[in-house]
C-alpha cells in the first residue's frame, strides 16, 4: 500500500521548474540536453550558449515552436537575466513539459 501511495504521489505531483546555478547548468549542457534561449534573435546573435536553440518568448510563434519539442526531453532554458526564462518555463510546464531547468542569473551569469 505504501508503494502505491508513493507512486500516486509522484504521478499527481505537478512538474516544477528548477532554478540551478551555473556549474550544474554547465553539467547538463555537457550531457547534451536541449537548450532553449528565449531572448530575441538580436540578443541571440550577440552571444549565446553553444548548441542553444533560439525561441523568442515574446514572439507570436513561441507556442508553435515549443510544441515542436519533445515533452519527454529535459529542457534547459535561459534568457538575459532570468525573468523571461522563468515565464517561458512556466508556459512549458502548462504545455506538459516535465523536466525544465532555468539558469540562475541568465546569460549574464554565464
Which entry of 79, 89, 92, 100 is annotated as an active-site residue?
A: 79
Label residue 2 by pLDDT band (50, 70, 90).
low
Q: Whole-model pTM?
A: 0.85
Question: What number is the average pLDDT over the span 89-108?
Answer: 95
Contact criterion met (CB below 8 Å) for 48 and 54: yes
Query: pLDDT tens for residues 41-71?
Result: 999 999 999 999 999 999 999 999 999 999 9
79 is catalytic: yes
Architecture of the domain spanning 16-109: 3-Layer(aba) Sandwich (3.40)
Distance of CA 101 to the CA centre of its chain: 5
Instruction: Give, as one character, the DSSP assignment of residue 49.
Output: -
Domain boundaries, the chain: 16-109
Amino acid at each position: 500500500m505504501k508503494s502505491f501511495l508513493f507512486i500516486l504521489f509522484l504521478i499527481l505531483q505537478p512538474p516544477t521548474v528548477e532554478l540551478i546555478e551555473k556549474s550544474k547548468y554547465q553539467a547538463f549542457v555537457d550531457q547534451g540536453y536541449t537548450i532553449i534561449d528565449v531572448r530575441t534573435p538580436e540578443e541571440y546573435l550577440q552571444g549565446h550558449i553553444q548548441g542553444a536553440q533560439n525561441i523568442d518568448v515574446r514572439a507570436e510563434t513561441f507556442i508553435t515552436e515549443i510544441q515542436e519539442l519533445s515533452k519527454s526531453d529535459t529542457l534547459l532554458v535561459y534568457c538575459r537575466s532570468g525573468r523571461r526564462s522563468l515565464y517561458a518555463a512556466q508556459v512549458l510546464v502548462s504545455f506538459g513539459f516535465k523536466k525544465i531547468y532555468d539558469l540562475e542569473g541568465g546569460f549574464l551569469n554565464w
